[in-house]
Structure 1
Amino acid sequence: MLLGDVFPNFEADSTFGKMKLHDFLGDSWGVLFSHPRDFTPVCTTELGRAAQLSPEFIKRNVKLMALSVDSLEEHHGWSKDIMAYNNAEPGSQFPFPIIADDRRELVERLGMLDPEEKDRSGMPLTARCVFVIGPDKKLKLSILYPATTGRNFDEILRVIDSLQLTAHNRVATPVDWRPGNSVMVPPSIPETEAAALFPAGVYTKDLPSGKKYLRYTPQPNTQQQ
């Protein structure tokens, strides 16, 4: 999968029932992330954090989906453990689907296996992949972590904020950007056009080279420029 590719419209069983990806997403953004195995420590903390942040993803019109090579029955049992880890009320429903891929068909198709991490039978475990899918069903971002390293879901939210902002505005976000911070004007936009596009003003940082490529502007709203 390369950035800009249309994400496969796979069908799969999940804890929310049988799903077809493009139908499930509708006009929403999507985050599909894989984990090595159910009933394991790091994965429990990850899905617990994702469940805690689920309202933040919903506010951004993003649908979460988890996936591993475990069965549907295991997913249902493990999701109760995750909610208990989060100190949720007994009987609370897990907020997003976990896809079952116990035949390993989907993880192989999407390149989600970690050859360095194997289960007791010698089969590769699922890596910690993150795929962000846009409303146009195209891949907007991919991150690949090894099985040994837990992810930061606050960072995934930050990335989505950047992706959604830059999808509708001709800007880029600098290192460590957070919503509300200034953004950068790409070098491809001429100065006269930049002045018209960004009425709040464009600030250029002086550099020893004399080149005017570090240009900043206050964050625009999400309306298309």
Structure 2
Amino acid sequence: METVEEKITMMPRIGDQAPDFEATTTKGKIKLSEFAKDKWTVLFSHPADFTPVCTTEMSGFAIRKSEFTALNTELLGLSIDSIHSHLAWVNNVREKTGVYLDFPIIADIDMKVSKLYGMLQPNESETAAVRAVFFIDPTKKIRLIMYYPLNVGRNMDEILRALEALQISDEHKVAMPLDWKKGDKVIVPPPKNLVEMDERLADTTCERTDFYLCKRDL
């Protein structure tokens, strides 16, 4: 019998290659390794179709889909429901609210993907996926993971902020301070030797608290 520690080590972690899978979605069959070529992927799970919190969350992703598109990112939803349930729910949300969930939603009825990604957490539920978010870069590496319980909805602003921070950090080789948002100063990587430290101390172009903490505009 697996121990809790063994189960935890089987869950994908930041820096891991995203486990590959094939699945049926509301937009047809997909294979993760072939999905969103040269793009980022935000893979997110919800506990169940036709539930209130999930409806607000999925609608939030749909309403702000263009912002993800602008960040070269594809959305990929999931719950442990059948494809028929998904289709009926998408249609119901569109009829009742005018919001169209126009992105693929995985029908993970056999829980294959949920188990592969650690979305099933027995102390929360053994039959419903928690609210997980996986940020997967174009090389299919997992870059950030968020987990929320069943009864707390996610924050779309934070998801978009984190995605943009990852992309800008990659592009400019910098780090982001607390509460960073686009347009704020970024953190310059700290020096790695005495020569670089002296150069940093002489640098007048950045906002320097000390040699190890310097910020600058992009």
What TM-score, normalized to structure 1?
0.84
| Equivalent position SS for 2:49 | coil
CA–CA distance in structure 1, aligned partners of residues 145 and 85 of structure 2: 27
**1:215 maps to what in 2?**
214
Distance 1:218 1:71, change over 3 A: same
Paired amino acid for 1:98: I
Q: Deviations over 1:133-179 (max 9, x none)?
A: 00011000001111111001111000011000011212111111111
**1:112 maps to what in 2?**
119
CA–CA distance in structure 2, aligned partners of residues 85 and 215 of structure 1: 51
Bigger helix fraction: 2
State which of 182, 190, 194 in structure 2 corresponds to 1:187: 190
Kindly state the Cα deviation for residue 188 of structure 1 after the two structures are TM-superposed. 3.8
State which of 137, 150, 154 in structure 2 corresponds to 1:151: 154
| Equivalent position SS for 1:112 | coil
Paired amino acid for 1:151: R
**1:208 maps to what in 2?**
none
| Equivalent position SS for 1:38 | coil
Q: State the number of aligned residues.
A: 203
Distance 1:136 1:218, change over 3 A: same
Distance 1:85 1:166, change over 3 A: farther
Paired amino acid for 1:144: Y
The answer (yes or no) to whether the contact 1:48–1:85 under 8 Å persists in 2 is: no
- Structure-to-structure mapping, 1:9-20, within 5 angstroms: 9-20=20-31
Q: Deviations over 1:97-142 (max 9, x none)?
A: 0000111111112110132344xxxx43110000000001100000
CA–CA distance in structure 1, aligned partners of residues 123 and 212 of structure 2: 42
What TM-score, normalized to structure 2?
0.86
Root mean square deviation, CA, Å? 2.0
Q: Deviations over 1:179-225 (max 9, x none)?
A: 11110112145357769xx9x921102xxxxx532200002xxxxxx
**2:73 maps to what in 1?**
62
The answer (yes or no) to whether the contact 1:132–1:140 under 8 Å persists in 2 is: yes
**Structure 1, unaligned runs of 5 or more:** 206-210, 220-225
- Structure-to-structure mapping, 1:123-134, within 5 angstroms: 123-134=126-137
The answer (yes or no) to whether the contact 1:185–1:216 under 8 Å persists in 2 is: yes
**1:27 maps to what in 2?**
38
**1:222 maps to what in 2?**
none
